[in-house]
Amino acid sequence: MDIVVFSAKPYDRQFLDAANADHGHRIRYLDDPLNTDTAGLAAGHRGVCIFVNDEANEAVLDVLARGGTQLIALRCTGYNNVDLKAAAARGIKVVRVVDYSPNSVAEHAVALLMAINRKVHRAYNRTRDFNFALDGLMGFDLCGKTVAVIGTGKIGRVFARIMAGFGCNVIGYDAYPSAEFEALGGRYAPVEEVGANADIVSLHCPLTPQTYHIIGTDMLARAKRGALLINTSRGGLVDTEAAIEALKSGQLGGLAIDVYEQEADVFFRDLSGTIVNDDVLQRLMTFPNVIVTGHQAFLTREAVSTICETTLRSITEFETGQALTNEISAG
């Protein structure tokens, strides 16, 4: 089956090619993201494979449908960038990667937490200049602290288990409570309590109309002063400008993010030699108690291998007329 892969990075090519040895699809790789300007490049391909910041809105889907596309394969879990109703109306099936490695994202969240708490990023920069002074590098013990996990799905539960291992008190918030989370020693609480009592808040929920800017001015005002906020889920969960104000006032003690609500214009590319025209991100990066990584939480050998194998298996199911195991319906 002819597939065009948008936003293809070197690791995508490496792992998709390896997985494709068992499937034999004809894959065309494009560095460009999928959007209204590039959708025409998919003409003649029955399937397109896209990532988190590619656009599959109604206008893009119109172009894809006219070009003969019948399948969109997301090589990720989230699908908020796809208009599912518009896809269904045009006869385009949509599949995603339901599960890859929850450990990869949860462990990266822990890495960000440890780095922002113990000022590892600042220490690294100092010691590179042979500055071994310790002033300004003090953190706190995680043992005994309260950690709020917003979203207790597979990734949130792995993160909670790790935090419990540190000796933390773990509280959670989720519209769909998990007995497994409670078995780990976690306790569910209203979102107000989660914000007010937590020394650390880590986000692991999907981006929906209900969770958009779940961390905003009101939530930050109710938060425990000096709390740390970690986001490895979706950028739109955090109102970045509200977070900046909370950082300026000291209400928020630190912020570590792997996702950003306007990341589509900057992430997954080298902009080190350019002027980045994003004033909000520029302001955010000036804070010494902020760490930003470029949506790399998923980037482990195990996770990428599973993502690519699952994606190609879904494409093969479509090509051979099988039921689509990982299909997303318009609901």
Domains of the chain with CATH codes: 2-100+300-319 (3.40.50.720), 102-292 (3.40.50.720)
301 is annotated as an active-site residue:
no
Q: Please check whether residue 172 is in contact with residue 196, taking contact to mean a CB–CB distance below 8 angstroms.
A: no
Task: Give CA separation, 294 vs 99, 189, 309, in Å.
Answer: 21, 31, 23
Q: Which pLDDT score, from 0 to 100, does residue 172 have? A: 96
Q: Which pLDDT score, from 0 to 100, does residue 195 have? A: 79
182 is annotated as an active-site residue:
no
Report d(CA 139, CA 122) in Å as an integer: 12
State residue 242 phi and psi, 5-degree precision: -65, -40
Per-residue DSSP letters for 220-276? HHHSPTTEEEEE-S-GGGB-HHHHHHHHHHTSEEEEEES--TTGGGTTTS--TTS--
Report d(CA 235, CA 230) in Å as an integer: 11
Q: Which pLDDT score, from 0 to 100, does residue 163 have? A: 98
Which residue in 263, 309, 317, 319 is the catalytic one?
Answer: 263
Which residue in 75, 96, 157, 295 is the catalytic one?
Answer: 295
Q: Which pLDDT score, from 0 to 100, does residue 99 have? A: 85
Q: Which pLDDT score, from 0 to 100, does residue 264 have? A: 87
Per-residue DSSP letters for 97-147? ---S-HHHHHHHHHHHHHHHHHTHHHHHHHHHTT----TT------TT-EE
Q: Which pLDDT score, from 0 to 100, does residue 192 have? A: 79
Which residue in 75, 157, 234, 313 is the catalytic one?
Answer: 234
Q: Which pLDDT score, from 0 to 100, does residue 71 have? A: 98
What are the residue ranges in the chain where pLDDT is below 70?
A: 331
The helix/strand/coil state of 194 is helix
What is the distance of C-alpha 300 from the center of its chain?
A: 14
| Global pTM value | 0.90
Amino acid at 64: L
295 is annotated as an active-site residue:
yes
